[in-house]
Structure formats: C-alpha cells, structure tokens
Amino acid sequence: MQYFGILERYIFRRVHTFSFILCSSMRGTRASCLGQPDGEAVKNSQPSTYLFDGGYASFDSNGAVDGWHYYIQDYMGNNRLVVNKNGTVEQVTHYYPYGGVIGDISTNESLQKYKFESKELDRTFGLDNYDIHARQYFAMAPMWDRIDPLAEKYYGMSPYTYCGGDPVNRGDYNGRYNSLGDNPSWSLISGYAISRAELARVGADKNLRALEMDMTCVVTIVEIRPDDCDGNQFDYKSNTIFWSPERGSIRQVDLDDPTLGTYTSSPVEGIQHEADHGQKYNSNKEEYIKDLNTEDEQFKNKEERRVVTGSEQETARALGKISDRQVTRKHHKGGKTIRVSDPLSTTPLEVFPPTIKLPEFQATLKK
C-alpha cells in the first residue's frame, strides 16, 4: 500500500486571496506546490477540499485536514475507486464506455465528482456533463457541446464525435488533439496510459501533461518496435515522438569508469525524456534548435545535456530507481536495446544487437 502513503503532510498558508498547500513526499526531499483549490475548496472562509495529482485532502469545519483520499484509476485514467489512507474504499464508480456512470453498481456517488478520465462531472440541474477543459462533454448523448476546434483535421467524422467513436481504446484528456495519431495500436494506447498514470503518481508527468494541454502543440506519438532503430526519439521536423512501450536500454553509467556499473532505463522513462524534448521545442523553437546544434563533449549537444541531467534524473529519482547521489548516466550514448513486458519493467526479455539510426528507419517507412 505504499501508493497511499505519499501525501500526508502539509503546510497550509494563505497569501492574500490565494491558498496553497505544500506537501513533502515520504522520501522527504521533494516539496511541491499542489496548486490552487478548485471552486468549492473554500466554504465559509474555511478550506474544504484540496486537489492534488492522484487524490485530494478534505478539511473539517475548523480548517484542519480530516482525511486523505486517493484515486485508484484504470488504464484510461478513469477514477474507479477512492480510498482513504488506511485503504478503506470510500467510493466506487463504474462507467459505460462513453463515460456515463453506472448508478446501480457504483457506491457513494456524491463523495467526490472527479470521475471519467478524472474529469469533473457537473450534475447541476441534471445536465450531467463533464468539464474537459476545452469543451463540455455529454457522456449520455454521447457528444461534445460544441464542435471540435480542430475539426478540419478530421473531415471524415462529425465535429461533435468523442474520440472518433472509439472510447474504449482512446482517451481525450484535453478536448483537443489526438496525440496518438489516427489509428493507434492497442499496445500504444495502453502503454501510453500506463506510463502517464505512473508518471503522474510519482509527480514526474510535467512534460507529458504540458504536451497534452498545449493547444498549439501537435506532437504525435508514433509507435516503433523495440528494435526498429537505435532508440526512442523526438523528431522536431515532424513534431513526432517515436517511442516503443516495450523498449528499454541497458547503459553503462560512466563510459570511463565501468566500476559504476550499468543502469537499465524503462519505457516510461523513455517517453518522459522525449516529451521533455517535445515540450521544449514547442515552447521555444528557436532556442531548441540552437541548443540542438550546440555541441557538448559529454552529452552530444546542449539540449541532450539539459534533458539527461534534468528531467531524466528527476524521473529516475521519483521512480525510486536511483538515490540523490546516483545518476542514470554521465553521457548520451546508447547502450544495449532490450525488449520488456510493459512500460514499467526493466527485466530484459530479449536483447537486440545494435541497429540502424532513426533517420534510416524513417526512410524505410516512406518506401
């Protein structure tokens, strides 16, 4: 039950009209601002609910925390259970494929309102629509309340269609762009959902989230097989992340010092790494290209130095794979490519010999 022990301490303070909650993880090293409360968070000048990634804290009438509540999600990021810190189930929610709540087999429906795809279900006047950021979604219809702002990209379907009519395999986390391409495979959909949930759980999903939420950014994630080419990669020219949900790699930590051993990177770390590149390119194209072309003796270029020494290390630490004093690698050279069973695994099922570079692989796709 380690999942449920992460957020239990907080410091509450008020700055003018803004309220923040600060939490520190059990590792004691990471403190993060949990953001501002949602609309109902302050009742009668008392805090009532604070949302954080993965759950929320509730307060009693004196403003003291009286409960920590955690979401248990399925592969699509739907909140299926709410449990308290002792593991007691407080709410159960089952869904029809398009997100409608199955009342007969759900329990304690009114406890909290973040449900399908962890989005807020607004039951005011019986309208029952989900607030999916860009638009409202009527799960019972099932359709959006207004046309898709990117409808012209999808001429073949109604601009009110949810997830191209395939809600079992596809999610729509921002009401906008389909980042998994037009016909994503099941392994890509599930691999992405698992990775996203795991990164959210450990607080390392900043880059993936930014990509999903950015309207101007149209990064597409294309699935590769683990041995298609020499690694996952973000290609800025096509704004595409090439990623395998089954690909890991075993690398020497320090190429000059074999005594430091090896580090095995999992697919979830791979997508995070590439998402960091994608996020950087889409937030500052000029600087990204400049850094990509600024050579770096140790890490190939300045952009790789930024990612390898930055989010790559933060993610490995958040996942509990290295200590504060360790690093995943001190270079940007590939290692052995391995196939693993799922995005969180580092157990090699197969080890592949060195393979071709991504541009050569892309050329084979075009033929």
CA 217 to the chain's CA centroid: 16
87 three-class SS: coil
Q: How far is the CB of 304 from Zn ion (least distance, A)?
A: 5
Residue 85 or residue 336: which is nearer to Zn ion going by CB? 336
Q: Are 20 and 13 in contact (CB under 8 A)?
A: yes
Q: Are 266 and 194 in contact (CB under 8 A)?
A: no
Q: How far is the CB of 301 from Zn ion (least distance, A)?
A: 9
How far apart (Å, rounded) are the C-alpha atoms in residues 122 and 101?
12
Give the number of residues in contact with Zn ion, rule: CB under 5 A: 1
Q: How far is the CB of 363 from Zn ion (least distance, A)?
A: 21
Q: How far is the CB of 352 from Zn ion (least distance, A)?
A: 19
Q: How far is the CB of 280 from Zn ion (least distance, A)?
A: 10
CA 50 to the chain's CA centroid: 20
Contact track, Zn ion, 255-294, x by CB under 5 A: ----------------------------------------
How far apart (Å, rounded) are the C-alpha atoms in residues 127 and 315?
40
**131: alpha, beta or left, given left = phi > 0 and alpha = psi -120 to 50?**
beta
DSSP state letter for 323: -
Residue 269 or residue 304: which is nearer to Zn ion going by CB? 304
Q: Are 279 and 207 in contact (CB under 8 A)?
A: yes
Question: Per CB under 5 A, which region of 28-36, 159-167, 296-304, 353-361 contacts Zn ion?
Answer: 296-304
Q: How far is the CB of 231 from Zn ion (least distance, A)?
A: 8
Residue 142 or residue 248: which is nearer to Zn ion going by CB? 248
Binding positions for Zn ion, 300-339, rule CB under 5 A: 304
DSSP state letter for 353: P
Say which amino acid occupies 204.
Answer: A
How far apart (Å, rounded) are the C-alpha atoms in residues 249 and 338?
5
Residue 246 or residue 304: which is nearer to Zn ion going by CB? 304
Residue 150 or residue 292: which is nearer to Zn ion going by CB? 292
Residue 174 or residue 311: which is nearer to Zn ion going by CB? 311
DSSP state letter for 153: G
Binding site for Zn ion (CB under 5 A): 304
